[in-house]
């Protein structure tokens, strides 16, 4: 199965910004599905090191950990 997640929220809503990353790396990748993420709207700002390192949503792993997992598994990210 191929799954493409679309993220449109940035640092102003940490939980909403984290959800697509969490679903992609802890859901689809763990289930061995082909997946990627599209960053639209405010979402590309989470790639800035100062934002990435500080962003933590409620009940979701920190974005820095999610992005690290995505990199380790060579998950495509489209900006």
pLDDT tens-place string over residues 50-69: 999 999 999 999 999 999 99
Full domain range(s) for residue 49 = 2-78
- Tally of domains in the chain: 1
Can you give the pLDDT at residue 23?
98
C-alpha–C-alpha distance, residues 33 and 62, integer Å: 22
Q: Quick check: 41 and 9 in contact, CB under 8 A?
A: yes
Q: What are phi and psi of 26, to 5 degrees?
A: -100, -5
Spatial separation of the C-alpha atoms in residues 5 and 27, rounded to whole Å: 11
Q: For 26, left (φ over 0), alpha (ψ -120 to 50), or beta?
A: alpha
Under the banding of pLDDT at 50, 70 and 90, the label for residue 71 is: very high
């Amino acid at each position: 199965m191929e799954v493409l997640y679309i993220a449109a929220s940035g640092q102003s809503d940490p939980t909403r910004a984290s959800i697509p990353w969490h679903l992609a790396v802890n859901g689809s990748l763990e289930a061995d599905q082909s997946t990627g993420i599209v960053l639209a709207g405010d979402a590309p700002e989470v790639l800035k090191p100062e934002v990435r390192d500080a962003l933590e949503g409620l009940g979701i792993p920190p974005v820095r950990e999610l992005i690290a997992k995505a990199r380790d598994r060579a998950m495509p990210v489209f900006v």
